[in-house]
Amino acid sequence: MCDEEVAAFVGDNGSNMCKTGFAGNDAPLAVIPSIFERSRHQGVMVSMGQKNSYVGDGAQSKRGTITHDTTLQK
């Protein structure tokens, strides 16, 4: 039938970090902070070329200018 190997995708949504990869690998393929940031002024910032929300590293770079939310802990 099929000679290809199929690896299971693994996702770990921790309270501080999200890690993803494939079963059997020694290390995750991606590791990002579990942070979700949203604009204090929804819609206003979008018209100024900014997003309504940011995730992971993008959220950390916007700290202090937007509202911090650790949604995985709620």
Give the Cα separation of 66 and 35 in Å (integer). 12
Query: What would you measure as the largest C-alpha separation in the chain, in angstroms?
Result: 56
Q: Specify the pLDDT at position 23.
A: 93
What pLDDT digit, counting tens, does each position of 35-63 carry? 766 666 555 555 556 666 666 666 666 66
Residue 21 in this model has a pLDDT that exceeds 90: yes
Q: Specify the pLDDT at position 7.
A: 85
Question: pTM (2 decimals)?
Answer: 0.53
> Which domains are present in the chain?
9-73 (3.30.420.40)
